[in-house]
Amino acid sequence: MTASETALKLAANTIRGLAIDAVQKADSGHPGLPMGMADVAVVLWTEFLRYNPQAPHWPGRDRFVLSAGHGSMLLYSLLHLAGFKLSIDDLKQFRQLHSKTPGHPEVTDTEGVETTTGPLGAGFSNGVGMAIAAQMEAAQFDNPLLMSRVFGICSDGDLMEGLSHEAASLAGHLQLGNLIFLYDNNGITIEGHTDLAFSENIPLRFQAMGWHTQSIDGHDFEQVRAALKLAVAQNDRPNLICCKTTIGKGSPNKANSHDCHGSPLGKEEIKLTKQALGMPLDDFYVAPDALALFKNTAALNVAAYQQWNRDMQAWQTRAPETAKQWRAFCDRTLPKDLYAQLITSAGDAASLATRVLSGNVIQKAAELVQSLVGGSADLDPSTKTRIKASASFSAKERAGRNLHFGIREHGMGGVLNGMALHGGFLPMGSTFLVFADYMRPSIRLAAIMRQPVTFVFTHDSLMVGEDGPTHQPVEQIASLRLIPNVHVFRPADGMETAAAWTHALSRRDGPTCLALTRQNLPKLARAANFNPDLVLRGGYLLRNVEAAKVTLIATGAEVSLAIDTATLMSQQGIEVRVVSMPCVELFLAQDAAYRAAVLGTLPVFALEMGRPEMWCQFTSRIDRCIGQSVFGASGPAKLVAEHFGFVTAKVAERICAAL
Which residues are part of the catalytic machinery? 409
Residue of 117, 112, 94 whose CA lies nearest to 448: 117
DSSP helix/strand/coil, 252: coil
CA dihedral sign of residues 77, 80, 82, 84: positive
**Rounded Cα–Cα distance for residues 607 and 484 (Å):** 23
Phi then psi for 132, rounded to 5 degrees? Answer: -60, -45
Three-state SS at 135: helix
C-alpha distances (whole Å) from 637 to each of 88, 350, 463 are 63, 20, 5
Collapsing DSSP states into helix, strand and coil, what is residue 275?
helix
C-beta of residue 210 within 8 angstroms of C-beta of residue 239: no
Question: Which three-class secondary structure state does DSSP give residue 236?
Answer: coil
Q: How close are the terminal C-alpha atoms of the chain, in Å?
A: 78
| Contact between 54 and 303 (Cβ < 8 Å) | no
Biggest CA–CA distance in the chain, Å, is: 90
Which residues are within 8 A (CB) of 610 and not within 5 positions of it... i.e. 6 or more apart?
Answer: 461, 473, 474, 475, 476, 477, 478, 627, 628
What H or E segment, with its residue span, contains residue 521?
strand 520-522
- CA 465 – CA 604 distance, rounded (Å): 29
The single-letter DSSP state of residue 515 is: E
The dihedrals phi and psi of 620, each to the nearest 5 degrees, come to 75, -15
Which amino acid is located at 538 in the chain? G
Which residues does 493 contact at the CB level (< 8 Å), separation at least 6? 354, 357, 521, 522, 523, 524, 559
Measured CA distances, 261 to 26, 119, 244, 279, 391 (Å): 15, 16, 16, 22, 46
Dist. CA 53–CA 79, nearest whole Å: 9
Burial track 426-458 (b if 16+ CB lie within 10 A, e otherwise): bbbbbbbbbbbebbbbbbbbbbbbbbbbbbbbb
H/E stretch holding 155: strand 150-155
